[in-house]
Amino acid sequence: MKQATRIKVLISGLTVMFIAYAIRYDFGALLPSMMEDFGLVELKLGGLIFTSYFIAYTVFSPIMGGLSDKLTARPVVIASCAIMGLSAIALSAARNLLEACICYGAVGLGASGTWTSVSAAVQRWFERKRRGLALGIMVTGICLGFGVATYVTPYIIGGYGWRFCWLLLGLTSLAIAVFTSQMFGERQHIEKTREGPSSGRIYLNRNVWLMGISYFLIGFAILVPFTYLPSYSIREASLPEHASIWLISLMALGGVAGALGISTLSDRLGERRDMIFVSNSLTAIASAVAVVTDYPALVASAILFGLSYGSIWPLYSSCASEYFGEVNAGKVVGFWTFFLGLGSILSPLISGAVADAYNTLKVTFALNTAVAASSMLPLLFVKRKAEK
């Protein structure tokens, strides 16, 4: 019975991640068409829509994390999928920049209860030696979500337009909310193999803040390719639109390899913090390779970004329970997601403004190399054992 419930949690959690990140990262593929329809020219204005998503995501993630610890993850996840679905449907009818920002901000509100709650529940169901793999499977759902979405998006845009894409994504999210209500279960009795600090002291813990700062920086860096790589490849590498969007699909393929490969290795190779150095290094290397601006370099960059992306989230999330206890996993992941959200809010705005100022995205990717590299510095000061 216990094993069957674990499988249901993995399946339903994977589907939640699939739609949550299909809705998030299909934005980069849909942005050029949306900007044209709204009469927008400057990239930073298009990035403002994405920023509205991350403002809501940032504000509500700590709240959702706390609720998932208090109420269990199941009701939070179901409500989140429903909110995402209704908001994406509303976005399909947006007439201007303001309406798009409001609707996509509401999508961010719904999304704030997905990864935070699902990852906390998975950590409670799986012991340390399988936790990296279990979270890696969740991230596989993420990669499949944006990989499939961005692969089919060019065909849907060509036949039906960008509005139909958002409508389809919204209806799928509502269907997954119903599916999750029947499948997703929460572990009521947590095996407290590592208590970590008391719940009241979590937000004062040194390691929590250091890893949160690292999360902020890597969150900034990893969002740049998802926001601007398609536009970059069209404007500066002269790729056709369908080929540029498929670079996101290559990132998805690399993400699956990173999620199942690097995350599983972390179950066997000791300290997960050390594996984070590997994943964040890949982001820095991928950004540097993208500066070359020819097609082979962009393909290599997309794959490297994917490998990094697929491994970042399970590695950081599994550190939450190992450093601070399973009982605090939701709070810690939610708190770190606040840092991630700040980085994600600033990323499209600063990256777009830099590109507009220098009239090239090459400078943006060069800056991104430095940001990704700096994300590893706070980890050097993280203590290897959780503070008691």
Give the model confidence (pLDDT) of 80-136 as tens digits: 999 999 999 999 999 899 999 999 999 999 999 998 888 888 877 777 677 778 888
| Cα 138–chain centre separation | 11
| Cα 379–chain centre separation | 20
For the chain, the domains span 2-380
C-alpha 78/C-alpha 75 separation (Å) is 5
Segment 239-251, tens digit of pLDDT: 777 777 778 778 8
Query: In the structure encoding, which two tokens stand for residue 42, read together?
Result: 């400057």
Segment 35-67, tens digit of pLDDT: 888 888 776 677 788 889 988 988 898 888 888
- The percentage of the chain sitting over the pLDDT mark of 90, rounded to a whole number, equals 30
Question: How would residue 388 be classed by pLDDT, with cut points 50, 70 and 90?
Answer: very low
Secondary structure (3-state) at 322: helix
First to last CA, the chain: 34
Which range among 96-110, 177-191, 288-302 shows the weakest confidence by mean pLDDT? 177-191
Please report the pLDDT score of residue 385 as a whole number. 52
Place of tokens 């943006």: 364
DSSP characters over 141-199: HHHHHHHHHHHHHHHHHHHH-HHHHHHHHHHHHHHHHHHHHHH----SS---S---S-G
Q: How does the average pLDDT of the chain come out, rounded? A: 84
Residue range 2-380, CATH number: 1.20.1250.20
- Check: CB of residue 355 under 8 Å from CB of residue 361: yes
Query: In the structure encoding, which two tokens stand for residue 333, read together?
Result: 């992941």
* Residue 225, CA distances (Å) to 30, 150, 166, 295 in order: 14, 13, 21, 15
C-alpha 96/C-alpha 76 separation (Å) is 31
pLDDT at 384 over 70: no
pLDDT at 192 over 60: no
Question: How would residue 190 be classed by pLDDT, with cut points 50, 70 and 90?
Answer: very low
C-alpha 383/C-alpha 381 separation (Å) is 6
Q: In terms of Cα–Cα distance, which of 102, 228, 90, 226 is closest to 163?
A: 90
Query: In the structure encoding, which two tokens stand for residue 114, read together?
Result: 């997905």
C-alpha 138/C-alpha 118 separation (Å) is 8
C-alpha 165/C-alpha 304 separation (Å) is 27
Q: Which residues, 6 or more positions from 359, have their beta carbon under 8 angstroms from its beta carbon?
A: none
C-alpha 339/C-alpha 24 separation (Å) is 18
CA 190, 193, 194, 198 torsion-angle sign: positive
pLDDT at 17 over 60: yes
